[in-house]
Amino acid sequence: MEVQAIDEGFVTPIETIVPEVLVRSTKHTPKSSPKLSHGSPEPKRTKAAWELMSEEQPQRMSSLKSYRVGSFNRKPRGLLMPSKDVNLDRFLMTTTLSGDLTFWDIYTREMVAQLTPSELLNGWCEHMTWITPNAIAIAAQDDTARVKKSEYVQHQVALLYDIRPSRKAGLEYQLKHLPLTPHTKGVSVLCQMQTGKDVFFLSGSNDRKICLWKIKDGISSQTLSTIATQRVHNQHTSTVLSLLYQPHSKSVYSGGNDSKFIKWDIEHESNVLTPGRHMAAIRDILPVHGHPDVVCLSYLSQTTNLKVFDTRGGSERCVMTLSYGKVVEEKAGSKYTKAAISPNGQLVAAGTDSHSAIYIFDLRYVRAQSEPPQQIVLHENRVPCCDFLEYRTGKQSLVSIGNDNRLIFTDYQL
């Protein structure tokens, strides 16, 4: 496929499912577990390599060079960055409303392999995430939605595993539709949790519940018949839109269409944050790398777009509020419009539901809250997903999919 350059851009609970490091101590119960409060001392933490709002000058992307990589037959839906596996770190994935899942080579910038709806049999891909270095969990379209019977098999999560490069086929893989259906409605979001001898991942659903999945002894054709699930909590009153697992605190962050933001302590089975609602539905929870207890939230809002919170000490202290400046969303937006954070945690990129620009925020900049962010226009229509890509060579790109049915790689320097 030719790469085209464009102009520079303006069930039943199962006790053994919980990972060993997360198993509750027998000396504690949920009732007597110590809970953090506003007056609790903050846990000790090493000094971060960089600080929020500490620099007088913002980082700006420069020397932009963009490349249009083919086109989609329908609007794109999802974007997944490459695995950390040395054999798969050159492939990223995209999905579309037609139900395709496509692998792209980030170096040649060509399509490598494509799974069609007749193979995936899940309508479209509602969400996807790496759960091991060579396995992807895929959430199926809710079976209540209209879908061709020939392109759907009853399931909530499918696994694409044993993914490996192939000279003949580009990529080889195994596909398994998991028989377990722990949710009463479709899965809306998936999240990697922990890998090792056993594999764990999380699912959030339209049924308001969050479930933990365990695959004992890793992923293979033999072990996929011994999968277990367990409910984590049902604190949300509407669809769960976002999940993030933080291993250092053994906590699951979740955001919902109910505007609730929850930090669930798995060991003590409790929400360590003060109960309440935010000003809008929370569609993204992003880790701020280098700051373990700091997260960036993206909202389904016409006014405030992003907020950064420090969640130490059992509180959720807002430390930054970011917006697109004078741009106001024409509507509350889509849950499929996703923000992204750079590998070093310093930059946030986000598209909008009303405009074609991508907005770049520098979390180190002292006036990031008051000055408009950098704007990059690459697409002819709105941009539902974009993400940062770092190559082995150190080169950096911003990858974006737009409703102009384009996948675009934009090389940049800082």
Phi-psi region of 333 (alpha: psi -120 to 50; beta: other; left: phi over 0): left
Report the C-alpha gap between 251 and 228 in whole angstroms.
Answer: 20
Q: Is the dihedral of CA 279, 283, 289, 291 positive or negative?
A: positive
Q: Is residue 94 helix, strand or coil? A: strand
Q: Alpha carbon of 111 to those of 115, 176, 289, 401: distances in Å?
A: 11, 23, 31, 14
| Residue listed under structure tokens 């003949």 | 168
Which pLDDT score, from 0 to 100, does residue 149 have? Answer: 59
Contact, 288 vs 345, CB < 8 A? yes
DSSP assigned state of 173: E
- Show the tokens assigned to 386: 């974009």
Give the chain's length: 414
Which pLDDT score, from 0 to 100, does residue 154 have? Answer: 81
The residue type of 40 is: S
pTM for the predicted model, two decimal places: 0.86
- Show the tokens assigned to 155: 């399931």
Angle at 238 between CA 183 and CA 316, to 5 degrees: 115
Report the C-alpha gap between 63 and 290 in whole angstroms.
Answer: 27
Which pLDDT score, from 0 to 100, does residue 122 have? Answer: 74
Q: How far apart are the first and last CA of the chain?
A: 30
DSSP assigned state of 260: B
DSSP assigned state of 280: S
Find, among 342, 365, 291, 294, the residue nearest to 54 by Cα: 365
| Residue listed under structure tokens 């009463």 | 184
Which pLDDT score, from 0 to 100, does residue 355 have? Answer: 84
Name the E strands within 124-168: 125-132, 135-140, 157-166
414 residues of the chain, pLDDT tens digit each: 434 444 433 343 434 455 544 443 333 333 333 332 333 333 444 456 789 999 999 999 999 999 999 889 999 999 999 998 888 999 999 999 988 999 999 999 999 999 988 888 877 899 999 999 999 999 988 765 555 655 567 889 999 999 999 888 789 999 999 989 999 999 999 999 876 789 999 999 999 999 999 998 888 877 887 789 999 999 999 999 999 999 988 999 999 999 999 999 998 999 999 888 999 999 999 999 989 899 999 998 877 789 999 998 878 899 999 988 766 555 557 888 999 999 999 999 999 887 899 999 999 999 999 988 899 999 999 999 999 999 988 899 999 999 999 999 999 999
Which pLDDT score, from 0 to 100, does residue 379 have? Answer: 95
Report the C-alpha gap between 131 and 138 in whole angstroms.
Answer: 10
Q: Alpha carbon of 290 to those of 25, 130, 132, 346: distances in Å?
A: 29, 21, 23, 9
Task: Give all strands of the β-sheet with 251-256 in edge-to-edge order.
Answer: 240-246, 251-256, 261-265, 270-271
Which pLDDT score, from 0 to 100, does residue 13 have? Answer: 40
Which string of DSSP letters, residue by residue, matches 180-222?
---SSS-EEEEEEEE-SSSEEEEEEETTS-EEEEEETTSSSTT
